[in-house]
A and B are shown apart, each in its own frame.
Chain A
Amino acid sequence: CSKDFLDRDPLDSYTNESLWSSEKDVLAAINGCYNNWEDGYDIIYMDAASDNAYNQYPWEGYTTLGNGYVTATDPDARNRWKYKNIQRCNWVLENVDRAPVSDELKQRVKGEARFLRAYQYFMLTQLYGDVPLVTQSLTTEEANTISRTPKEEVQQFVLKELDEIVDWLPESYSGNDVGRITKGAALALKARLELYRADYSNCITDCEKIMELGYTLYPNYQDLFRIQHENNSEVILDIQYKENDFANENLHVMVTSSLGGWGSIGPTQALVDDYEMANGLTIDEANSGYDANDPYKNRDPRLTASIVCPGEPYEGKFYNSIDPASSDYYLGDNNSKTGYLVKKFTSNLSDFTELQNNGLNMIVIRYAEVLLNYAEAKIESGSIDNTVYDAIDAIRQRAKMPKVDRAKYSDQSSMRELVRRERRVELALEGLRWFDIARWKNAETLRKGEVYGARLGKVDAKTGKLTLSNEQIRVEKRVFDPAKNYLWPVPQKERDINKNLTQNPGY
């Protein structure tokens, strides 16, 4: 009797023992691994840690990661030190065999879990270098004494995992399963990592496999990122959101104050300058047609699709960040401090009823990146053939840009320059730029020194015509120590708990 009185079990949560008895259980468990597997917030802010953008509010977590002043004790250092989903995947992998479900489903679920785990390790090693490699549930003692595994070893693990699951995953899903990890996603992540590791031949092989899977470039570059066209033929993997129930809550950070936003992320002048002219010439080439007093005219259409520049029509008026008399003046509150706005995910605000609660999926991997990975791997391995030009041309033509001038871009060094510029422009503000400049080891020149924004002046409210002065927005001065800043600091909070965690050099 007395024993009964004190026996009280949870009323609203399950136990591991009572679970794993049906397909429903298995699916719920793997769905739990997807919960926050990647965050749209980090995707949109990540370019502020590169030379593409500037995050004006330090409390949002990316200012010091951009200007080089990050310390191990900053909360920013913890932005991506995430193991929660790794643990969840480990849990599923440890238990799924108990469930009375088909081997086929088991294999798919294992594939999904192993991908999601591999993705976290990909991200961790890119940013922090050596990290603890955890492939099973830990005790607290183990968690507090674990050491960092060398980056090389962790990345080998990631590649091996991805290699093993490629054939366990379907090429596509239908109905209520769209959005799960596919074979294409596994191959694409693998190819991305191989490129980052300069393992060009494997990268090329994997890219070629993806090219056979039927992905195509979505015909309209700007609409590719709109909610109406989610999960189109170009999307390989995205974070899925739904209004009200699991919402994308962060689009307002890119919008300017007069439209109810915060202007948190300002694209830099350096990024704007890398967009070619519509004729395919860079702005500093002779006869390019570039007019420094009307700098946004006749440019690569992707500039207008990705960035709102002064004098450009946006949401029914001409954006004016360069005149003190304007609501959107760069010094005004909640306005972009570079004078440029991110437009990529917010090209049409009428797509959303609420900027802080909407269903816009955030793309993590898309086919254009695969084509660029392929092209770069081929260029770097010295085999510049037609397939390289075709890949780049496909991307440029979709964007309404002329094909590559094969006469001008013929050798490895010019092609390298071209593909790097193409990557920056095509994938701008999608969170990948930092990984590129970090592996090209040119962050020490690109992410250092003064950051500039737009030139000041006037915008004719009726026509958008620019009258620019010679004064250019100076944003901030960045520092970069190549011996230190290529890696983020291991969060001090983790090192306080676990004395075996070493720190990256310089922090």
Chain B
Amino acid sequence: FSQLAASASSKIQQTSTQQQHELQIKGKVVDAQGPLPGLTVSLKDNPKIGVSTDANGTFTIKVPPKSILVFQMIGYQKQEIPVDGKQTINVTMVEDNQQLSEVVVVGYGTQKKANLTGAVATVDAKQLENRPVTNLTNAIQGTMPGVTVTQNNGQPGKEGNSIRVRGIGTLNNSDPVVVVDGVISSMNNVNPEDVENISILKDAASAAIYGSRAANGVVLITTKQGKDGKTQISYNGYVGKQSATALPDYLPSWDAAALYNQALKNENKPLRYTDEEIQKFRDGSDPYNYPNTDWLGLFYDGTGLQQNHYLGLNGGTDKQQYAFSLGVLDQDGLVKGTNTKRYTSRLNLNSTVSKKLKVNASLAYTRGEIEEPQSSYVGVPEFSQIVRQINRIAPMVPYKDQNGNYGYISDGSPMAWLESGSYNRELSHYLFGTVNADWEIVKDLHFKPMLATIVTINKNKKFIHDIQYYDRITGEPSMYQGPNNLTDQNYQNAVTTLQATLDYTKSFNKHNFKALAGYSQEYTKYDWDEGYRKDFLNNNLGELNAGPIAGQRATGYAYELALQSVFGRLNYDYDGKYLIEGNLRYDGSSRFADGKRWGVYPSVSAGWNIDREAFFEPLKNVVSSLKLRGSWGNLGNQNVTKLNDDYPESYPYYPYIATISSGQDYIFGGASPVIATGISPVNGANTAIRWEKTTETGIGFDAGFLSGKLTLSADYFNKKTNDILLSVPVGEVYGLNAPVQNAGAVRNRGFEFVAGYQNSAGDFQYNISANAAFIKNEITDLNGTGPIIDGGTFRDVGYPINAFYGYIAEGIFQSQEEVDAHATQSGGEIGPGDLKYKDINQDGVINGDDRTYIGTYFPKVSFGLNLGGSWKGIDLTLFFQGAAGVDNYIQGIMLGQVSSSTGKPTSALLDSWTPENPNASMPRIWSTYTQNDPSRNPSSFWVQDASYIRLKNLQIGYTLPKHLTDRIGLERIRIYYSGQNIFTISSFYNWVDPESPQGASGYDYPQVKINTVGLNVTF
């Protein structure tokens, strides 16, 4: 009783003392070099009370005797010193070498950044915040050197992003492996706002612990974990509007008609339009028969509105912590009927069961909905088909005729399709569950088992409505696109991972050891089935049972994959100066025959923290830190691309097993036909295939200057992939889809740089960071099979993968004499205005033997630039991204074509060669002749520089002053504007988005520009 009373009374006393007696404290602050002027000294409990040190580094402050002083300055580690009644406090500040304390997530663990020996790029939550992106892949674009993100299009839910780490390393699938909270998974289902940080393991040394999976790099994603303390609630939300970054510059109907006539004239054919008809197009006097239809305007008429809301809860005790989040995204596209909705939720629980045992569990669920209109074009019920037809249907075709019926071409009317209500609805459920434990068996020996399951369930429903068209003149029924039909697809992918690691840390004297050993196995089961019925009574009911059984179809298939691995890692450093790491992984895959199944992947890397050496001390004024790194390692790949694009089931899950495929049916029975079940070998097999192997060596350095204000990292790497798993094209005489072989080698060499600078001037703080990568891709071996030519691209030793291949254009023929004097060309009647191709083999004939390398779409350099600044409550960030020294190929679809019903030339074709316009930028225009066609006769004429720079993201925010937010009981309120793809400067056609891989295909939904306003609130 007495003790309690005493304690209570002393507390009262203390309080009164504090209030009554403030101490005046004096002191001097120095660092290794001497006094530190301009340093802030403040009171921890009330940061408003604070002073700065003077020119001699001295300060005077009045504070309560029991308080804590905070000493801070950019470039130095913050210090907190309790006053404890002292009247003089002298402080020596330690330079803040961030790298000393920063911890980086690596494979199966973490590592101090200072002790990293491999090439690892990281992004933290801050860099991902508030960008109006709909997925994580977009959010990391341009943030790291050597990590290339491309977005195929802007269609809600179907952006089709891809990530490439240090170039395209293989001729196969080049996607890096994605690990979410320790489990191999995918990026698509992670809400960007749930992410705490991302590490990308770029080189073999750091990725080798993932062995067979890691040849294309590893993306490690860590989600936000609970923190002990008061429950913190945060809300982030934005609303925005999308618009197309650019649309093709199609000509009006009169120009399109005149150009078609010009092409017919060039080809000795009767003209399609009379001058009077062209005049009618021009003057609009007969808008049904001679219209000028703005198909793009009709089509891109959606609202493009999107909104995103995110609520996060975070808190816990010292024993239990939780982080819980809910997110919802709703995005309407630029085309009516395109929409995606995504609901994400995640619960991370960390529990300390005892001093020796911690248990963690994560549960995440994402529900995704994508909706898109469908085409009623028989056999091609795709949304991309509507986009294609919009890019194809001529302005001379009316949207609707005088009877109110749709104008149409042989394939139908894209607007009739769009407005018919045909839809594809994709619903996906993604469930991610993992439980793991950390048991410290004896001191510093941890056993970490993990069980994880990821189940993805998809249900696609395509309901294609039928359309009756009517003759424009008679109004009678004409073409019918039908019958209506429903395809119901269900598929499920379940991956179960079982993993356990054992790690041990030991230090004595200045020797530090870390060892890790582990086992993992992964089992994948994929099931797919599909039901189809047609000829529904009407277009209202979209369930199978509502349709007749006549003509119904059912299909289904399944496959299994299994992987098994053991791995180990050893780290050693001496006094943090000399670092060395070794990895070994042993992987087995079900895709290879017994005996070829297992592969070994070793790696070693080393580092030297030179700044820790005594001799370096004098340099520390300028160079505050410096580390050299070097690495070598092996990685594997078992993934192969599908054998034949036309058959999804030809994906070689069992590439070593010769199979006989079903479904090779025929019909017998004459007047009463019946299906005769047929089987045949369809895919070639190869029992000899084995792991594809990547060997990568690299060196690099990390340096800090001016007390860490300026940082610079540089890396050189040489990555060579051998025994590439490839279905090398085989002659048609083989009769089967080409089997997978270990054929060829690819090398990627390059430099990566990242530099950052941060500083402040008064209240103005700013930072700049820039990154750039120079990567050279080259095929170094094809087992003697090259060149492998595929239309306008080829693969051959000494050239980049899929480089452009074609004739060398020597200009445009100006006279018949010039044509006659030149080697014989074909594809039509060659005349003045045609492209002149180089006779490489000088045999007097231009044919397939005169084709050669004409360019590559690999940029010489790709770069990103981040600018950030803040002043009082205002913050501003700009993020630029681009590529230089990159070619693009002008596909015919980018120029548009001339024809009648599908004649849709762009303005580029206006400057075509005619005798009156001999200095034209384009050859004479063509319709059926192929000699000038960029697709049928690829040539260097169509290879153009496509360097670009794009303001990818611009953000301006304002955080309300603390005293205002305090008044309403909130911790923080920030409002912001954020824009994505704000502007682009490109040397290519401005309607071709430079990010679209290898240019627009005409089937693609455009890229979008997004303007949003948002709100961040923390309670």
Which residues of A pack against B, CB within 8 Å?
2-3, 5-16, 19, 25, 27-29, 31-35, 37, 58, 63-64, 69, 71-74, 78, 81-88, 90-91, 132, 134, 137-138, 140, 143-144, 146, 173, 175-180, 230-231, 240-246, 249, 257-262, 325-327, 331, 333-334, 354, 356-357, 359, 361, 473-477, 479, 491-498, 501, 503, 507
Contacts and interface: CB of A to CB of B under 8 A. Distances in A.
A290 B641 CA distance: 64
Given A74-B930, A245-B665, A32 B551 contact: no
Contacts of B270: 473-474
A16 B660 contact: yes
Contacts of B557: 11-12
Given A14-B660, A83-B734, A87-B735, A58 B930 contact: yes
A118 B505 CA distance: 74
B473 A326 contact: yes
Contacts of A497: 729-731, 788
B889 interface: no
Given A64-B930, A359-B673, A35 B560 contact: no
27 contacts: A10-B559, A11-B557, A12-B649, A14-B659, A31-B677, A69-B930, A71-B827, A71-B930, A83-B734, A84-B736, A86-B733, A132-B731, A137-B735, A176-B674, A180-B668, A240-B668, A241-B667, A244-B553, A246-B667, A260-B469, A262-B410, A333-B901, A354-B482, A474-B270, A476-B268, A477-B268, A496-B789
B853 to A, nearest CB: 14
A305 to B, nearest CB: 21
A179 B479 contact: no
B847 A31 contact: no
Given A81-B732, A140-B728, A140-B730, A10 B659 contact: yes
**Chain B interface: which size bin?**
35 or more
A5 B521 contact: yes
B589 interface: yes
Contact of A5 (B559, B562, B669, B674): B562
B561 A8 contact: yes
Contact of A479 (B474, B480, B564, B829): B829
A495 B659 contact: no
B787 interface: yes
The 9 closest A-B pairs by CB, nearest first: A87-B735, A231-B670, A260-B479, A32-B680, A31-B678, A333-B901, A143-B734, A178-B670, A32-B678
B654 interface: yes
B555 to A, nearest CB: 10
Interface string B663-684: 0111111110111111111001
B670 A492 contact: no
Contacts of A260: 469, 478-480
Given A8-B590, A497-B729, A175 B679 contact: no
A477 B942 CA distance: 28
Interface string B544-560: 00000011010011111
B936 interface: yes
B815 interface: no
Given A31-B666, A258-B474, A83 B829 contact: no
Given A84-B735, A91-B681, A6 B564 contact: yes
Given A12-B557, A35-B678, 5 more contacts: A12-B649, A19-B679, A83-B734, A177-B669, A259-B478
Contacts of B730: 140, 143-144, 497
B735 A88 contact: yes
B731 A498 contact: yes
A91 B680 contact: yes
A241 B480 CA distance: 22
Contacts of B960: none
B733 A143 contact: yes
B28 interface: no
Contact of A333 (B410, B679, B731, B848): B410
Contacts of A178: 668-671
A173 B731 CA distance: 36
B679 A14 contact: yes
B95 interface: no
Contact of B474 (A35, A87, A249, A327): A327
B662 interface: yes
A25 B268 CA distance: 57
A504 to B, nearest CB: 11
Contacts of B561: 8
B989 interface: no
Nearest to A244: B551
Interface of B: 267-270, 272, 378-379, 397, 409-410, 469, 471-474, 476, 478-480, 482-483, 521, 523, 550-551, 553, 556-564, 588-590, 594, 597, 649, 653-654, 657-662, 664-671, 673-681, 684, 728-736, 738-739, 741, 785, 787-789, 826-829, 847-848, 900-901, 928-930, 936-937
A465 to B, nearest CB: 19
A362 to B, nearest CB: 12
A224 B673 CA distance: 18
Given A132-B733, A243-B551, A258 B660 contact: no
Given A6-B562, A69-B828, A15 B731 contact: no
A72 B560 CA distance: 42
Contacts of A175: 669
A493 B792 CA distance: 12
A176 B658 contact: no
A260 B564 CA distance: 57
Contacts of A5: 521, 523, 562, 564
Contact of A58 (B473, B558, B677, B928): B928
Contacts of B654: 8-10
A181 B597 CA distance: 46
B668 A333 contact: no
A503 B841 CA distance: 16
Most A-side CB within 10 Å, residue of B523, B597, B847:
B847
Given A2-B564, A245-B665, A334-B409, A31 B474 contact: no
A12 B589 contact: no
A176 B668 CA distance: 6
B810 to A, nearest CB: 19
Nearest to A356: B378
B670 A179 contact: yes
Contacts of B929: 69
Identify the interface centre among B557, B561, B674: most chain A CB within 10 Å of its CB. B674
B227 to A, nearest CB: 39
| Residue of B597, B662, B669, B789 with highest tally of chain A CB at under 10 A | B669
Nearest to A496: B789
B664 A35 contact: yes
A242 B558 contact: no
Given A13-B659, A19-B660, A477-B268, A71 B847 contact: yes
B585 to A, nearest CB: 16
Contacts of A69: 826-829, 929-930
B597 A6 contact: yes
Given A9-B654, A246-B665, A496-B848, A140 B734 contact: yes
A483 to B, nearest CB: 12
Nearest to A30: B678
A65 to B, nearest CB: 12
A86 B735 contact: yes
Contacts of A473: 270
Contacts of A19: 660, 679
B731 A494 contact: yes
Contacts of A262: 410
A10 B653 contact: yes
B364 to A, nearest CB: 27
A259 to B, nearest CB: 6
Contacts of B675: 242, 245-246
A258 B478 contact: yes
B621 to A, nearest CB: 58
Nearest to B927: A58
Contacts of B480: 260
B660 A134 contact: no
